[in-house]
């Protein structure tokens, strides 16, 4: 058993990860739902009672209930992976990226106590007002963008492209336009 846990705890190769994501998406399709996470935002808004005030949120929650189960599972999965399947090896990002981030004063966290390269916690923490503001602003962009475009990375980039959908391809091109603008024009101004 310990050997199995140790085996799973190593960082997973991208080819293995990609194959497993496809398997999950295919399995969910066979179960009769569409692999897509951002649809849960609508479901939460409906559950909070917004459906009475706005027609867009007036949905039948029974059809959406699987989303709540899936999210609850994802939260638990994140907890399990972070606490019980932790590898001592930090996320192996490229040396070039690490060097470039130093110019922004972001140092690469490389030990267990420093979150193993998951998040620059010197920016995103509760005692940094700028970080909280960025978290809120980024969240609004994500919520608005994924609902207007009816899908996020899972729905468009994985599932939609898997079904050869042109709207999904256009959405993914948009993801990259936005991502490149943020990374190369806005972030140097925000963090530089």
Of 179, 150, 177, residue with least CA distance to 37: 150
C-alpha dihedral sign at 67, 72, 78, 80: negative
* Number of residues counted as binding another protein (CB under 8 A): 122
Of 63, 33, 60, 67, residue with least CA distance to 46: 60
Q: Which of 6, 118, 122, 130 binds another protein (CB under 8 A)?
A: 118
Q: What share of the chain is helix, strand, coil (3-state, %, to 5)?
A: 70, 0, 30
In sequence order, the 6+-apart residues with CB closer than 8 A to the CB of 135 are 124
Site string for another protein, 51-90 (x = CB under 8 A): ---x-xx-------xx--xxxxxxxxxxxxxxx-x-----
Regarding 17 and contact with another protein (CB under 8 A), the answer is: yes
Q: Which of residues 164-183 bind another protein (CB under 8 A)?
A: 164-168, 170-183
State the nearest-atom distance from the C-beta of 172 to another protein, in Å.
7
State the nearest-atom distance from the C-beta of 100 to another protein, in Å.
7
Distance from C-alpha of 27 to C-alpha of 159, rounded to nearest angstrom: 11
Q: Which of residues 127-156 bind another protein (CB under 8 A)?
A: 131-132, 134-150, 152-154, 156
State the nearest-atom distance from the C-beta of 187 to another protein, in Å.
7
């Amino acid at each position: 058993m310990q050997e199995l846990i140790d085996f799973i705890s190593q960082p997973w190769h991208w080819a293995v990860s990609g194959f497993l994501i496809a398997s999950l998406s295919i399995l969910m399709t066979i179960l009769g739902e569409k692999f897509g996470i951002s649809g849960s935002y609508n479901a939460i808004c409906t559950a909070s009672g917004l459906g009475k005030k706005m027609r867009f949120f007036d949905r039948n929650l029974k059809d959406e209930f699987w989303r709540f189960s899936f999210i609850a599972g994802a939260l638990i999965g994140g907890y399990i992976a972070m606490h019980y399947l932790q590898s001592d090896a930090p996320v192996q990002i490229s040396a070039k990226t690490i060097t470039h981030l130093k110019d922004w004063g972001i140092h690469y966290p490389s030990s267990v106590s420093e979150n193993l390269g998951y998040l620059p916690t010197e920016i995103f923490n509760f005692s940094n007002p700028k970080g909280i503001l960025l978290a809120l602003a980024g969240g609004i962009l994500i919520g608005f963008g994924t609902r207007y475009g009816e899908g996020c990375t899972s729905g468009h980039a994985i599932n939609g492209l898997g079904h050869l959908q042109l709207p999904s391809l256009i959405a993914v091109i948009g993801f990259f336009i936005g991502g490149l603008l943020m990374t190369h024009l806005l972030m140097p101004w925000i963090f530089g």
